Structure 1
């Protein structure tokens, strides 16, 4: 990122929509505002902010508490908002996170947090820890023991956009890894993977944002998951790759078969690729969270 320091930029004026509950699209809780044109030069401070976002949340001891978006995802959830009344850029606290912290973590009857004054990285970690412990039995959705689901014949196709700008892609991988470790402890890597993919498969979608394609990378997106699932459950046709379709651009309408994780696409040319496993690549998706004293799935 440091190579961008000194680069000049210009952004035209536009109307912007904050996400609220929308996740990449306008929805209840969102709002629209005007943004003036901007121009300037990228500074070292700008780069430091972007790098901190990409590095993910750490406490003051440098212990990781959460991961972040992949390179190529937009920073929409981290954007400030132009206030037409004050003619200034101000913090935009989405109703999704702010209301939860106010009502369920700080236990006050407010619809949103008014500011982040005095809030440190350690404060954020403590909020996360409080919520995780307090609501483990009602809101926890990442418990990895899926034995009952599996023993009752359940099949699971799990996919995630690689440039998701709301929920980090690696969080899905971390859950997939957790299920594999909990369901098949002590097994070799190859044996546990073979058993897991018989009923639970994870696919990453290149260029996809949250609930849709990334506007800058209109890559393939799964189109017929229901039919794939019906064939798997009712006809015993286990998928090995996931059918997807390019939405726009020069390759609009082209079908591409997504690779089943942990294999990754290795491109031969502009339109064909193999699915291969690369240990170094896999390890970049693997995280631990020492900021917490309890397991984080």
Structure 2
């Protein structure tokens, strides 16, 4: 062990002065493998290393265009006594570009990581960037059931928080060894969106002292409510017996944008004040508006000519209201005004000439696989499913997965004491608590973890890592979000007011326990 440590020191000392080709070898990587991460053992025979020159990235929403060199490495580790294999991948900046930074990246949907797709966002800032397969191949919905009725708890908890935590702890020690940092400070960051945002909050809650800064974008917290809620639109349609054509829903969204655009003081195709839209726009005002569905093929003539009416009843007024049980108590929230009704999309039956129910697979798979423990990718029917049923599904998942996927542990005292910085963004003003090292931004017009074609003039926070680096190292507090406008020339102004905040104040009284 002493010899390995000496070799690692010599190797890493050379790393500061040597070229990328000199240091990016399997021998150097093996010498830098961690030996002191408790309960974990690295597998030297699994190491690969390859230098990459003049790599370039463009057109991404989470980091800017850049050209860079890096050392791409992979290696595996095992949990002592378990006999498993977890695969890691890291991109290391060239020695002259390393800035004493490490970045862990997260995933999306049921994937623990985005593979190498997010790693450029670290290397371009002089950070070692890493990703993991969690030891289960990376896709939880594939690995979740060992058999019908039997949960793969190792995969579940790896997805929940262990996988990213271990990726980071191993990555930090490896980085310090590889670059011979000694007692120098290594700044450690995390960035992810959607599932990656939930993973970010899992790290804040479970590993508060491991990171210096965490960026959890649009986090899928309240996981059970969030996943089951994808079925809410379908249950509204089923209850009302009305299945709207997609073009009707698109018409409602476009009409809402037109009506609410000016409420923020600037007509630019971006609704920055969805609170005012929620307070002042009546969705029933869209009744009577004509719509037309485009042809479904090159030889088609188009479908769904019509006007929005009340007979049969439209689903649209019910969708923004959110899930309430049969006693009128709120169980969860729904779309903000101007959001697309993607979960409500129906399918066209060419034989009957009618639109029919299309069960949203995100919600259907959650219920079938994670609640009913059946190896199925969706529900086959929503017969006899009511609003109370959906509330019960939400509560079941909450109880079963509260400590692993729900990710709503409210006591962040250790996070605060550790001095970790975090700022969070959602697609849609600013709630700022710099004394607690925490900021929340809602991005006008943005979609979920992406730009929005329907409000194309909207910005998106593309340089998040640079912002939090400057906050931590230079004390530059992000009182405004330095978003990038990717499709035109528009000025964005952020406003704080209590009326806006009150529209986000919900009471979830459908449960006996508080829903954080």
In the superposition, the TM-score normalised over structure 1's length comes to 0.70
Quote the offset at 1:46 in angstroms.
6.5
Match of 2:44 in 1: none
Quote the offset at 1:225 in angstroms.
0.8
The 1:226/1:296 distance shift into structure 2, 3 A limit, reads: same
Match of 1:257 in 2: none
SS state at 2:365 partner: helix
Among candidates 392, 400, 408, match of residue 126 of structure 1: 392
Match of 1:90 in 2: 356
In the superposition, the TM-score normalised over structure 2's length comes to 0.42
Deviations 1:123-151 (A, max 9, x none): 00000001101111221212222222222
Match of 2:287 in 1: 5
1:99/1:112 contact within 8 Å kept: yes
1:10/1:39 contact within 8 Å kept: yes
1:11/1:39 contact within 8 Å kept: yes
Q: Partners of 1:146 and 1:59 in 2: how far apart?
A: 31
Among candidates 237, 250, 260, match of residue 476 of structure 2: 237
Quote the offset at 1:278 in angstroms.
2.1
2:416/2:436 contact within 8 Å kept: no
Match of 2:421 in 1: 155
Quote the offset at 1:3 in angstroms.
2.4
The 1:277/1:284 distance shift into structure 2, 3 A limit, reads: same
1:2/1:44 contact within 8 Å kept: no
Matches within 5 A, 1:134-149: 134-149=400-415
Deviations 1:202-235 (A, max 9, x none): 0010000112122121201112111111111222
The 1:35/1:78 distance shift into structure 2, 3 A limit, reads: farther
Cα-Cα RMSD: 2.6
SS state at 1:295 partner: coil
SS state at 1:44 partner: coil
Greater CA drift, 97-106 or 34-43: 34-43
Quote the offset at 1:87 in angstroms.
5.0
Match of 2:506 in 1: 287
The 1:272/1:161 distance shift into structure 2, 3 A limit, reads: closer
Q: Indicate the structure (1 or 2) with the bigger Cα radius of gyration.
A: 2
The 1:35/1:238 distance shift into structure 2, 3 A limit, reads: farther
Quote the offset at 1:8 in angstroms.
1.9
Quote the offset at 1:198 in angstroms.
3.7
Aligned residues: 231
The 1:197/1:101 distance shift into structure 2, 3 A limit, reads: farther
The 1:35/1:91 distance shift into structure 2, 3 A limit, reads: farther
Among candidates 202, 224, 245, match of residue 440 of structure 2: 202
Q: Partners of 1:97 and 1:56 in 2: how far apart?
A: 15
The 1:284/1:35 distance shift into structure 2, 3 A limit, reads: farther
Match of 2:450 in 1: 212
1:102/1:110 contact within 8 Å kept: yes
Gaps in structure 1 of 5+ consecutive residues: 16-33, 163-168, 177-192, 255-270
Q: Partners of 1:113 and 1:7 in 2: how far apart?
A: 34
The 1:233/1:291 distance shift into structure 2, 3 A limit, reads: same
Match of 2:325 in 1: 59
Deviations 1:94-137 (A, max 9, x none): 33211110122223332210011110000000000011011112
Gaps in structure 2 of 5+ consecutive residues: 1-282
Quote the offset at 1:247 in angstroms.
1.8
2:284/2:317 contact within 8 Å kept: no
